[in-house]
Amino acid sequence: MSCSVGMQARLVVLLLLHCTKSSICQPGPALTPNPRAAPLLGGVGQTTVAGMDSYAGITFGSGTTIAGPFEGGFNSDIDQLLSWLGCSPASKGYLCGGIDTQTALEQVNYQCGTSLPSVSDGVFKSLMYACGVHSPPVNKCTSPPGGGAPGYSACSNPPYHFHQNFTCLYDATATATGHSIKVGVSTPSSKSITQCGIYGKWEATNTLPELDACSGHFGVTPDSLGQPVYHHHVQDKAPFAVGCYGPSASGKEVTLDECRSYYSTCGDSDITNITTTKGTFLYDRWCPCYHSNTGSNVVGATTGVSCNGAAASRSSLVEVGSSLTAVLMLPSVLLAL
3-state secondary structure the chain: CCCCHHHHHHHHHHHHHHHCCCCCCEECCCCCCCCCCCCCCCEEEEECCCEECCCCCCEECCCCEEECCEECCECHHHHHHHHHHCCCCHHHHCECCCEEHHHHHHHHHHHHCCCCCEEECCEEECCCCCCCEECCCHHHCCCCEEEEECCEEEECCCCCEECCCCCCCCCCCCCCCCCCCEEEEECCCCCCCEECEEECCCCECCECCCCCCCCEEEEECCCCCCCEEEEEECCCCCCCCCCCCCCCCCCCCCCHHHHHHCCCCCCCCCEEEEEECCEEEEEECCCCCCCCCCCCCCCCCCCCECCCHHHCCHHHCECCCCCCECCCCCCCCCCCC
What pLDDT score does 5 carry?
43
What's the domain range around 190?
29-257+308-316
Look at the pTM and tell me if it is higher than 0.85: no
Domains of the chain: total:
1
In a domain, 326, yes or no: no
In a domain, 337, yes or no: no
Rounded-to-integer distance, Cα 295 and Cα 86, Å: 28
CA distances (Å), origin 219, targets 190, 198, 230, 232, 253: 24, 12, 7, 10, 11
What pLDDT score does 308 carry?
62
- Residue 104 falls in which region: left (phi positive, over 0), alpha (psi -120 to 50) or beta: alpha
In a domain, 23, yes or no: no
Inter-residue contact 149 to 332 (CB < 8 Å): yes
Q: Which residues are bridge partners to 100 per DSSP?
A: 70
Rounded-to-integer distance, Cα 66 and Cα 183, Å: 10
As a residue count, the chain comes to: 337
What pLDDT score does 61 carry?
93
CA distances (Å), origin 319, targets 38, 141, 286: 10, 18, 11
In a domain, 321, yes or no: no
In a domain, 57, yes or no: yes
Rounded mean pLDDT for each run of 10 residues along the chain, 337 residues in total: 44 37 48 74 94 91 95 87 92 95 96 95 90 71 42 57 96 97 91 88 97 96 93 97 92 94 94 94 97 94 78 33 27 28
In a domain, 225, yes or no: yes
What pLDDT score does 50 carry?
97
What pLDDT score does 193 carry?
81
CA distances (Å), origin 159, targets 107, 136, 302: 25, 7, 39
Q: Residue 19: CA atoms inside 13 Å, Cβ hemisphere, count? A: 8
In a domain, 9, yes or no: no
Rounded-to-integer distance, Cα 265 and Cα 242, Å: 16
Rounded-to-integer distance, Cα 251 and Cα 95, Å: 38
What pLDDT score does 158 carry?
67
What pLDDT score does 255 carry?
96
In a domain, 279, yes or no: no
What pLDDT score does 137 carry?
57
CA distances (Å), origin 292, targets 60, 212, 265: 30, 8, 19
